[in-house]
Structures are given as structure tokens and as C-alpha cells.
Amino acid sequence: MTRVRPTWPDLPTHVRDAVAARLGGPVTGWTSHDGGYSPGWALTLESAAGSAFVKVASTEHEVAASLHRREAVRAAALPDGVPAPAFRWVMELPEPGETEPAWVVVASDVVDGRAPRTEPWDLDDLDRLQYLARRIGEHEVPDGGAFPTFSDHVWPESAQLAAERPAGLATYDPWLAANLDRIAEIASPERQAEAFAGSHLVHGDLRADNALVVRRADGVEAAVAVDWPHAVRGAAYLDRTAMLPAVHATGGPAPEEALERAPLPAGVDPEAVTVWTAVQTAYFVYTSLQDPPPGIPHVRAFQRIQAESCIPWLRARLR
């Protein structure tokens, strides 16, 4: 499921020229970073003025371009002290002779770090990711600012599964189909709003592929979060628990085992976590059964393996 991304020479000349001008000099070296689940370029660029991490998307890929625009707004508004690379700039470029944007380019500082070790999972790195999620959630963000309120969004997938009963449900644990009405009740809009409410910063997509492990000045390794288009305002536990299905799906410990290693704070309501688990389960199951979005053909397989991790987690929480 690893995406092989296009490289610096694959960009049109006028885009490369505009990026180089914004960097302050010709690009003297580049590294393309494969992976991720969206189309486009992810590049570390070197120039006489220094280095920068640059992401580029064509507006032909509407979702990717929209994500870059959203990231520019939210990354620029991150509170001081959030473990994330500093946002630099965003620009939109038309094709030569045109006026409508055809390219979206976002730049940030380069993070000198390594990917978390996941083949197999390094449990120390998992602990670093859990600590990263806790640090992010310690920051509060104002209502009405750059970060949407998470509890304002209603996740409809549990109700959709209960109403539609798609044929693909037969490919999952039969327990799921037998309990769809109960799951839809647990994940009702009213219970979602109560469970997700909060004033804390939430990354919204915190996984191993959206984090890097860096060595601090004191020699200690710690994780830093990258890719911020989904950042929202909500409950502090959301990132801590949202990453666990992906961890388990890629060979790490099951969610409850991970939480035994790094328990949630005493004040977190277990019922809120159960609501979130039900929402995630329904989301991953429902979306895994849909046609893939344009330009991201492999995302459904990733949603599938996360769904298969969520179902036993939810089943255990509902005993």
C-alpha cells in the first residue's frame, strides 16, 4: 500500500521556477518521500537559502488540493509549543496564460528525523506516539478560530450501515451485522456531540506515517507530528485512541493492550471512548465497502484492515 510519488523533475517548469523563487534560489538537491494516501508531491528541497519540505497538488485532484489549503490554514495557527514543523508559506499557481489556480504548494520546515519503526512495531516508538498525542491534546485552542469544532461534525456511517445493510457486511465478523442497531444507538448524533466535546487541539489523523522521531538536544528521542489538514478542536483523548486501529492493523498490539501500556488520564469517560470506538468501527467498515476515491486507489484496503481491528475492540467494550 505504499504510494510511489512523482519527483521534482516531474513538476512543470513554471511550478519549479515559482517554488525556487519562493525558496530564494535555485533548487540544488531534492528528495522525494514516498508513502501516504493522497496523490501529489512530497519533497525535501535544498537551495542556497536552505532547505524546506514542500507538498504540491494539482487542482485536478480536488481532494488533495483542498487538503493542502486546509493544512496551510491550520498549520499556520498551531499554538506555540506543539511538536510540529513550523509552517512557512502557501501559494497557488495557474497554468501559463490562465488565471484559475492549477497547483497548490505548501511549505514547512524540514524535520530531521526518522519514521517510527513499524516492521515490526517498536514498542518504544509506540510509546513515543502515544506521548506525542498526549502533548498535542494538552494545548487548548479557541472556539471559532482556525480549528473546526469536532463535535459539530456528525459521523453518519453507523446509521447508514444499520439502514442499508450492504452486502459487503457478509465479509466481516457476523457479530457486526447482528449488532448494527445497537452500534447505531451508541453512536447516535447526540452521544457523539457529548463524547467529542472539548477545547483541546486534535491532530485528527495521527498515525505512524504522520509522525517522525527526532533526537532532541538532550539526546532523548521524541515524536513530532506532521500533516495537519484534519486538525480540529475537541476532546483530548481522541488522537490517543484514533491511532490504535492503525497500529494493530499494521502488526502492533491490540488497542486495549496499547492502552495498558499508556493508560488514558483518569478523567476520561470510558463511555465516551466506547462511542468513539463505535464511530470508528462504522466509519472504517462503511468506507471500506465504497468505490475508491479518484487518485487514491489503495485507501479502501487500509480502511478494511483498520475495520478488522476495530470490530473486536468494540465487541470487547460492549460485553
Q: Assess whether the region 8-108 and the region 123-317 belong to the same CATH fold.
A: no
Q: For the beta carbon of residue 282, count every other beta carbon within 10 angstroms.
A: 27
Locus of grid cell 524546506: 52
DSSP string, the chain: -------GGGS-HHHHHHHHHHHTS-EEEEEE---SSS-SEEEEEEETTEEEEEEEEETTSHHHHHHHHHHHHHHHTPPTT-SSPPEEEEEEEEPTT--SEEEEEEEEPPP--BPPPBTTB-HHHHHHHHHHHHHHHT-B--TTSSS-BGGGS---HHHHHHHH--GGGGGS-HHHHHTHHHHHHHT-HHHHHHHH--SEEE-SS-SGGGEEEEE-TTS-EEEEE---TT-EEE-TTHHHHHTHHHHHHTTS--HHHHHHHSPPPTTS-HHHHHHHHHHHHHHHHHHHTSPPPTT-TTHHHHHHHHHHHHHHHHHHHT-
In whole angstroms, what is the distance from residue 19 CA to residue 142 CA? 33
pLDDT band at 4, cuts 50/70/90?
A: confident
Share of the chain above pLDDT 90, in %: 93
Query: Residue 193 CA to chain centroid, in angstroms?
Result: 21
Mean per-residue pLDDT, 280-298: 92
Is pTM beyond 0.85? Reply is: yes
pLDDT digits (tens, 9 = 90+) for 155-182: 999 999 999 999 999 999 999 999 999 9
Q: What is the pLDDT of residue 3?
A: 67
pLDDT more than 70, % of the chain:
98
| The predicted structure's pLDDT at residue 1 | 43
CB 187 within 8 Å of CB 278: yes
What CATH class has 123-317? alpha beta
- Is 275 exposed, middle or buried, given 0-12, 13-18 or 19+ CB atoms closer than 10 A? buried
Domain layout of the chain by residue ranges: 8-108, 123-317
Angle between helices 157-164 and 270-288 (to 10 degrees): 60
C-alpha Rg value of the chain to the nearest Å = 20
Cα separations in angstroms, 287 against 157, 158, 271, 301: 8, 11, 24, 10
Domain 8-108 belongs to what topology? Phosphorylase Kinase; domain 1 (3.30.200)
Greater confidence, 9 or 34? Answer: 9
Read off the amino acid at residue 117: R
| Mean pLDDT of the region 200-209 | 96
Report residue 24's pLDDT band, with 50, 70 and 90 as the boundaries: very high
The pLDDT score that the predictor gives to residue 294 is 78
Residue 47 makes CB contacts below 8 A (sequence gap 6+) with 20, 23, 24, 25, 26, 27, 28
pLDDT tens-digit profile of 49-108?
Answer: 999 999 999 999 998 999 999 999 999 999 999 999 999 999 999 999 999 999 999 999
Q: What is the mean pLDDT of residues 31-46?
A: 87
State pLDDT tens for residues 102-139.
999 999 999 999 999 999 999 999 999 999 999 999 99
